[in-house]
């Protein structure tokens, strides 16, 4: 079993991930209201691919977490996207988890997932993943 969290990548037209959604809103000058008091662990899809290749070739019947090396709030993630791609940070507002989910289905609040068994592939931080995407675009 391999678990991942908040995957993101440079391009994949059939389905937008959180990175491309946030970036697109900022490029269109649309405001974003982001949760500042919860955590997510963004995972660069290229890292997942390399990790899966290793696991396919070195199978053991265990549970693995192939997740990014850094957890941050959605608010912090949006700010990092804006900084990396020179987009307007003033479009990014803050909200709390409780206000955001008030009339919605609850999301995990503190998804600070760590990969304890992954000693075979260094997963990128969110900043490193964004820099790699910048090269790929």
pLDDT tens, residue by residue, 120-130: 778 899 999 99
Q: How many Å from the N-terminal Cα to the C-terminal Cα in the chain?
A: 32
Residue 110, CA distances (Å) to 16, 88, 106, 113 in order = 23, 27, 12, 9
> If you average pLDDT over residues 67-91, what whole number do you get?
96
Place of tokens 């820099």: 131
Say if CB 95 and CB 45 are below 8 A apart. Answer: no
Residue 116 has pLDDT above 90, yes or no: no
CATH superfamily of this structure's domain 2-136: NAD(P)-binding Rossmann-like Domain (3.40.50.720)
What is the residue extent of each domain of the chain?
2-136
Evaluate if residue 61 carries a pLDDT over 80: yes
Q: Find the helix packing angle between 74-84 and 126-136, rounded to 10°.
A: 40
% residues pLDDT > 70 (the chain): 99
DSSP class of 91 = G
């Amino acid at each position: 079993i391999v678990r991942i969290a908040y995957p993101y990548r440079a391009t994949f037209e059939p389905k937008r991930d959180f990175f491309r959604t946030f970036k697109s809103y900022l490029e269109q000058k649309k405001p974003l209201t982001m949760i500042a008091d919860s955590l997510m662990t963004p995972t660069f899809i290229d890292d997942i691919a390399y990790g899966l290749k290793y696991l396919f070739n070195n199978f053991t019947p265990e549970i693995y977490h192939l997740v990014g090396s850094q957890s941050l709030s959605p608010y912090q993630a949006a700010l990092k996207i804006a900084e990396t791609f020179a987009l307007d940070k003033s479009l990014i507002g803050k909200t709390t988890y409780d206000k955001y989910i008030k009339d919605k289905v609850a999301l995990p609040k503190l998804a600070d997932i760590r990969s304890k068994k992954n000693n075979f592939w260094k997963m990128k931080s969110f900043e490193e993943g964004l820099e790699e995407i910048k090269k790929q675009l």
